[in-house]
Structure 1
Amino acid sequence: MTNTAFKQASYQDILDLPDNTVGEIINGHLETHPRPTPKHALASSSLGDELVSPFQKGKGGPGGWWIIDEPECHLGPHVLVPDLAGWRRQGMPALPETAWFETVPDWICEILSPSTARVDRIVKMPTYAELGIGYLWLIDPVLQTLEAYELRDRHWPLAGSYADDDPIAIAPFAEHAFSLSDLWE
């Protein structure tokens, strides 16, 4: 019988990774993936562009949010790096002085890629639910789709699926509409 003792990952494991690798600690395990591909990065940057002006800066929208690319979130035992995250300023009035965030985001967006989709769906989605994050978007730049979820009783019922040039005006950002196809162009 073999002893396969589990070694709890530490933050030092993340610091020791090569520069082109993103590391996260989820349920004590070190999860790694390469930096995003250009399609992945374009979708993430384009979504940030759509949300920052109306929701962070209040230009043409209600303001009241922080929208951050690839924030390092230290949440309980987890170190998570979503592609985008948003915090209502009422819950986090100022940005932290640290290089990471310890306040649970109100919204998370993961841009799916072949190297991250399995972890994003199977490992991170339940962790995000456990943490009480209210909204989760999954965007697939290859299939050109967006799945929106709203947390209910620590589960993720699908709030809507979008494809092609569907108009996007969904919670928690329903006050601003844009075309899903804007994320790929």
Structure 2
Amino acid sequence: MIPTNHGPWTEDDCLALGETDDRIELLDGSLYVSPSPCVRHQFFANGLAGLLDGPAEAEALYVLGPINLRLRPGRILIPDLVITSPIDFDAVVAPAEATRLVCEITSPSNEAHDKVLKMHYYAEAGIPWYLLVEHKTATLRLFRLDGRTYAPHAVAEPGEVLRLGEPVAVTIRPEDLLP
């Protein structure tokens, strides 16, 4: 149970909640709480991590997720997966500056959150690549940072192929991520 807080939440307040089965994100003084994702969501995340691990390792990068990602002071999100340059593995939060790609897998209850709000916050933080996986269709949408917003870079539906050249070179077939 999340304790009552009558003022804005700070990073210290948020992180003092400790580990939980819920995802607790800090958005400018407010908490956004969501339950653990469904099995299909986990299947996508595990499949992507498996496909990205080898190519990331070859580039001295790391595939992690979900982690506390500090986009700026007072704004900590928990993406489904990230590719980072080397970071402090004992830190409670990872810095956005080390993040090369962030991935969100939509859920029926949070589609707008991932497609609009989080996408905006990740772009504002300067993360170069944003990969969005649509829960219902397994469509992969890759966005490239263009200034302070993301521009569509590539799309792949089941039966098609998504090719990444940055931050890692990998080919992803959406149907390989389906249960």
User: TM-score if structure 2 supplies the norm length?
Assistant: 0.85
Report the Cα offset of residue 109 of structure 1.
0.3
Whether the aligned pair in 2 keeps the contact of 1:129 and 1:151 (CA below 8 Å) is yes
**Structure (1 or 2) with the larger CA radius of gyration:** 1
Distance 1:39 1:132 in 2: 29
Backbone CA RMSD of aligned residues: 2.1
Count of aligned positions: 171
User: TM-score if structure 1 supplies the norm length?
Assistant: 0.83
Find the partner of 1:157 among 151, 156, 174. 151
Report the Cα offset of residue 130 of structure 1.
0.9
Distance 2:131 2:169 in 1: 16
1:44 corresponds to: 45
Report the Cα offset of residue 175 of structure 1.
2.3
1:10 corresponds to: 10
Q: CA-to-partner distance for each residue in 1:22-50, whole Å, 9 max, x for gaps?
A: 01012332111110100000001000000
Distance 1:161 1:82 in 2: 20
Report the Cα offset of residue 143 of structure 1.
1.3
Q: Which consecutive residues of structure 1, in runs of 5 or more, have no partner in the other structure? A: 1-5
Percent sequence identity is 21
Give the aligned residue type for 1:42.
F
Q: Which consecutive residues of structure 2, in runs of 5 or more, have no partner in the other structure? A: 1-5
Whether the aligned pair in 1 keeps the contact of 2:100 and 2:127 (CA below 8 Å) is yes
Whether the aligned pair in 2 keeps the contact of 1:87 and 1:107 (CA below 8 Å) is yes
Q: Are positions 1:108 and 2:102 aligned together?
A: yes
Give the aligned residue type for 1:157.
A
Distance 1:20 1:75 in 2: 22
- Per the alignment, in what secondary structure is the counterpart of residue 25 of structure 1? strand
Whether the aligned pair in 1 keeps the contact of 2:71 and 2:121 (CA below 8 Å) is no
1:3 corresponds to: none
